[in-house]
Amino acid sequence: MTQDAIERAWDSVVGTARRTVTDGLVVGTSGNVSARVGELVLVTPSGVPYDRLTPGDVVAVDLDGTQVRGRLAPTSELPMHLEIYRRTTARAVVHTHAVHATAVSTLVTELPLIHYMAAALGGPVRVAPYALYGTGELAAHMLGALDGRTGCLLRNHGTVTYGDSLDQAYDRTSQLEWMCRVWLTASSVPGLTPSLLSAAELDEAAEKLRGYGRPR
């Protein structure tokens, strides 16, 4: 893996992390972002404001979690990131404390099918049971909720999404937060209950989404 490739990936990790703050998906240094480059995982550090990170602040670990680059400590949520890279083909992971998604995580065990974009995450979005942040227990709960999915909610905590790129992982996070906001908004109308999609309707949407954006 070339130094140039690592520098480009780090720049994308930092840029995505800053975007989570700008877009209101995290507050302060909460949340974290990572990208896999070969056998290395570049990850945001613990407790450092993203606007202070420089090209020289690269933090990299191997798939066993051993730090191989950088002087700053990796995020405390490293176990979640590593489990995703070990168990999936993910190239990027985004974890946030998005307001609406976190609120939904305290109310249900699965986000109701309020919109067909749930299909873009693999199906109905599950809520992983609560566990202390930064623990192997939380990572294990997350993996269960991610089975067959590319995103999930963490009870009383936030969101996790992954993808083939940082842009894709971030887009999935944004879609998840938006769906949570839609459901909360619709559910708040007194005397009315939101209509939900059926499993068959979601499957139909999933099939159509497979060809979305491809040349005819």
pLDDT average, residue stretch 15-43 = 95
Mean pLDDT over the full length of the chain: 95
**49: burial class by Cβ within 10 Å (0-12, 13-18, 19+)?**
exposed
Does the pLDDT value for residue 215 go beyond 60?
no
Contact status, residue 117 vs residue 181, Cβ threshold 8 Å: no
Say whether pLDDT at 64 is over 70: yes
Fold of 3-209: L-fuculose-1-phosphate Aldolase (3.40.225)
Residues annotated as catalytic (active site), given as ranges: 77
Q: What ranges do the domains of the chain cover? A: 3-209
> What is the pLDDT, as a whole number, of residue 2?
81
Percent of the chain with pLDDT over 70: 97
Higher pLDDT, 28 or 203: 203
